[in-house]
């Protein structure tokens, strides 16, 4: 497992354990007292046409536009209808090889979410969701080499390059979750959360690329734009009405 995948998986695990506690704290201030925290994983497709066109013109193979996504989030339900929450995700792409070089692309973003429950019955909720946030994307190209000495690196440090882009993002989604009650007491009930979200991420303002904070002229402008589908699993709880 690559370092990027290890970091992403560990992030998801941390969210799974700590987000429910955060959401319970949010929920205690709401009239209905409902809070959930969850890990999320799924797939996303990004528009890489402009980037792949430039890569292929220089002899590099095009990168896959399909990404595995992992992350997590949480939300509270206010007045039995309004959803307030947040989420963060890592998008992990495949690595491709061309001659003596390996190329890969990855991305990540986070959103503040606002939604409204349009259907609710027996702990099943369906809702549209608007996310406002931002993110970034990294293109890495590195030379394939065997073992290197410290002096080799000093003599020729230009063996890899990381190019970045990113900015403001919007997310439009439809979500569905179900709270499976496993137990409770006089104060409330709690259990497991299962859910599904599908939507589209939009970058209203496309940007060029940078290398070590140096803006590159003539770079293809693009953003983190495309559809996604994610599964949710976590924990949640609700206060009993007074």
How high is the pLDDT of residue 94? 87
Question: Taking the model in full, what pTM does it have?
Answer: 0.79
Residue 227 has pLDDT above 60, yes or no: yes
As a CATH number, domain 3-239 is 2.40.160.20
Note the pLDDT of residue 155.
67
Reported as a single tens digit per residue, the pLDDT across 33-77 is 688 999 999 999 999 998 889 888 888 888 999 999 999 999 999
What's the pLDDT at 31?
38
Structure tokens at 84: 């307030």
Q: Rounded distance, CA 166 to CA 78, Å?
A: 32
Higher pLDDT, 206 or 127: 127
Which residues have CB under 8 Å from 110's CB, separation 6+?
Answer: 86, 87, 88, 89, 133, 134, 135
- Output 171 or 22, whichever has higher pLDDT: 171
What single-letter DSSP state applies at residue 111? E
Reported as a single tens digit per residue, the pLDDT across 85-114 is 999 999 999 888 877 778 899 999 999 999
Long-range (24+ apart) CB contacts under 8 A made by 219-223 are 219/163, 219/165, 220/50, 220/51, 220/53, 220/54, 221/50, 222/47, 222/48, 222/50, 222/51, 222/165, 223/165, 223/167, 223/169
Q: What is the mean pLDDT of the chain?
A: 82
């Amino acid at each position: 497992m690559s370092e990027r995948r290890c970091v992403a998986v560990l992030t998801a695990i941390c969210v799974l354990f700590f987000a429910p506690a955060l959401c319970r704290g949010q929920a205690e201030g709401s009239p209905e007292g409902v809070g959930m925290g969850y890990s999320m994983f799924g797939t996303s497709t990004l528009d890489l046409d402009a980037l792949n066109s430039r890569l292929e013109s220089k002899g590099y193979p095009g990168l896959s536009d399909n990404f595995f996504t992992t992350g997590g989030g949480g939300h509270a339900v206010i007045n039995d209808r309004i959803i307030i929450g947040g989420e963060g995700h890592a998008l992990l792409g495949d690595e491709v090889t061309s001659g003596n070089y390996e190329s890969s692309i990855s991305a990540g973003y986070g959103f503040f979410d606002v939604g409204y429950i349009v259907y609710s019955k027996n702990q099943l909720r369906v809702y549209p969701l608007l996310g406002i946030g931002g993110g970034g994307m990294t293109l890495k190209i590195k030379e394939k080499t065997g073992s290197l000495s410290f002096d080799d690196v000093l003599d020729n440090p230009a063996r890899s390059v990381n190019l970045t882009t990113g900015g403001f993002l919007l997310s439009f989604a439809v979500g569905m979750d179900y709270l499976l009650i496993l137990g409770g007491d006089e104060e409330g009930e709690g259990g497991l959360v299962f859910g599904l979200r599908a939507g589209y991420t939009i970058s209203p303002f496309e940007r060029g690329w940078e290398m070590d904070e140096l803006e590159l002229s003539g770079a293809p402008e693009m953003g983190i734009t495309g559809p996604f589908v994610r599964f949710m699993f976590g924990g949640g709880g609700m206060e009993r009405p007074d």
